[in-house]
Structure 1
Amino acid sequence: MYFPILVIILVVGGLYFTLKTRGVQIRLISNGLKLMSEPKKDKNSVSSLEAMLVSTASRIGTGNIIGVSTAICIGGPGACFWMWLMCIIGGSSAFIESTLAQIFKRKDSEGNAYGGPAYYIEQGLNKPKLALIFCIFLILAYAVGFNMLCSYNLQSTFIRYPFYNENTTPIIIGAILAILTGYCVIGGGKRIISITTKVVPVMGISYVVIALIIIILNIKNVPSMFILIFQDAFDFRSIFGGILGSCLIYGIKRGLFSNEAGVGSAPNASASAIVSHPVKQGLLQIISVYIDTLVLCTATALMCLCTGVMPDASVAGAPYVQNTMHTAFGNFGPIFLTILMVLFGFTTLIGNIYYIENAIIFLNKKKKPSKRFMKLIHILCALIVFIGATIPMGMAWSIADITMGCMTLINIPTCILLSKFAINCLRDYEDQLKQKKDPVFKGVSIGLNEESLDFWK
Structure 2
Amino acid sequence: MTDFLNDLNSLIWSNPLIYLCLGSGVYFSIRSRFMQIRQIPEMIRVMIHGESSPDGVSSFQALMISLAGRVGTGNIAGVATAIAFGGPGALFWMWAMAFLGASTSFVECTLGQIYKTRDRLTGEYRGGPAYYFSQAFAHTKAAPFFKIYGLLFAAVTVLACGLLMPSVQSNSMAVAMSQAWGIADWAVAIGIVIILAFVIIGGVKRIATFASIVVPFMAVFYILFALVVVFTNASQIPDVLRLIFASAFGADAVFGSIIGAAIMWGVKRGIYSNEAGQGTGPHAAAAAEVSHPAKQGFVQAFAVYIDTLFVCSATGFLIISTGAYRVFEGESADGAVLGDGGLLPDVVDVGPTYVQVGFDSMWSGAGSTFVAISLAFFCLTTIIAYYYMAETNLRFLLGKAATVYIHPLRSTVGSNLTMLLQALILFSVAYGAVSTAKDAWTLGDIGVGLMAWLNILGILVLQQPAFKALRDYERQKKQGKDPIFDPIALGIVGATFWETYEHKDRFREEKPISSAEGAGPDV
2:127 alignment partner in structure 1: 115
Residues 380-405 of structure 1, C-alpha deviation per residue, up to 9 Å, x if partnerless?
A: 22112111122222221111111111
Contact 2:162–2:421 (CA<8 Å) still a contact in 1? no
1:21 alignment partner in structure 2: 32
Contact 1:80–1:229 (CA<8 Å) still a contact in 2? yes
User: Could you tell me how far apart the structure 2 residues matched to 1:284 and 1:453 are?
Assistant: 23
User: Could you tell me how far apart the structure 2 residues matched to 1:424 and 1:191 are?
Assistant: 34
User: Could you tell me how far apart the structure 1 residues matched to 2:482 and 2:197 are?
Assistant: 44
1:288 alignment partner in structure 2: 303
Contact 1:159–1:319 (CA<8 Å) still a contact in 2? no
User: Could you tell me how far apart the structure 2 residues matched to 1:352 and 1:181 are?
Assistant: 11
* Structure 1 position 373 matched with structure 2 position 417: yes
One of 150, 154, 159 as aligned partner of 2:173 = 154
Alignment of 1:71-82 (within 5 A): 71-82=82-93
Cα 1:375–1:224 change in 2 (3 A) is same
1:258 alignment partner in structure 2: 273
Alignment of 1:180-219 (within 5 A): 180-186=195-201, 198-219=213-234
Q: In structure 1, list runs of 5 or more residues that go unmatched.
A: none
Alignment of 1:375-454 (within 5 A): 375-449=419-493, 453-454=496-497
**Cα distance, 1:26 vs. partner?**
0.9
How many residue pairs are counted as aligned between the two chains? 450
User: Could you tell me how far apart the structure 2 residues matched to 1:44 and 1:186 are?
Assistant: 17
Cα 1:268–1:194 change in 2 (3 A) is closer
Runs of 4+ displaced beyond 6 Å: 190-196, 236-241
Which residue identity is paired with 1:266? G
* Structure 1 position 178 matched with structure 2 position 190: no
2:160 alignment partner in structure 1: 141
Q: Secondary structure of the equivalent of 1:364?
A: helix
* Structure 1 position 95 matched with structure 2 position 106: yes
* TM, length-normalised to structure 2: 0.80
**Cα distance, 1:376 vs. partner?**
2.7
Alpha-carbon RMSD across the aligned residues, in angstroms, is 2.6
Residues 354-380 of structure 1, C-alpha deviation per residue, up to 9 Å, x if partnerless?
A: 111111111101524544432232122
The structure with the largest helix share of the pair is: 1
Alignment of 1:2-17 (within 5 A): 2-3=12-13, 4-17=15-28
Which residue identity is paired with 2:37? I
1:352 alignment partner in structure 2: 386
User: Could you tell me how far apart the structure 2 residues matched to 1:236 and 1:455 are?
Assistant: 52
One of 336, 341, 344 as aligned partner of 2:370 = 336
User: Could you tell me how far apart the structure 1 residues matched to 2:18 and 2:241 are?
Assistant: 24
* Structure 1 position 36 matched with structure 2 position 38: no
User: Could you tell me how far apart the structure 1 residues matched to 2:163 and 2:458 are?
Assistant: 24
**Quick check: 69-78 or 346-355, which moved more?**
346-355
Q: Secondary structure of the equivalent of 1:378?
A: helix
* Structure 1 position 325 matched with structure 2 position 359: yes
2:57 alignment partner in structure 1: 46
User: Could you tell me how far apart the structure 2 residues matched to 1:65 and 1:272 are?
Assistant: 28
User: Could you tell me how far apart the structure 1 residues matched to 2:491 and 2:30 are?
Assistant: 21
1:269 alignment partner in structure 2: 284
Contact 2:52–2:288 (CA<8 Å) still a contact in 1? no
* TM, length-normalised to structure 1: 0.91
Which residue identity is paired with 1:204? A
* Structure 1 position 455 matched with structure 2 position 498: yes
User: Could you tell me how far apart the structure 1 residues matched to 2:212 and 2:487 are?
Assistant: 36
Contact 1:428–1:445 (CA<8 Å) still a contact in 2? no
User: Could you tell me how far apart the structure 1 residues matched to 2:279 and 2:60 are?
Assistant: 19
Cα 1:20–1:196 change in 2 (3 A) is closer
**Quick check: 416-425 or 365-374, which moved more?**
365-374
Q: In structure 2, list runs of 5 or more residues that go unmatched.
A: 1-10, 138-142, 328-332, 334-347, 404-412, 501-523
User: Could you tell me how far apart the structure 2 residues matched to 1:208 and 1:200 are?
Assistant: 12
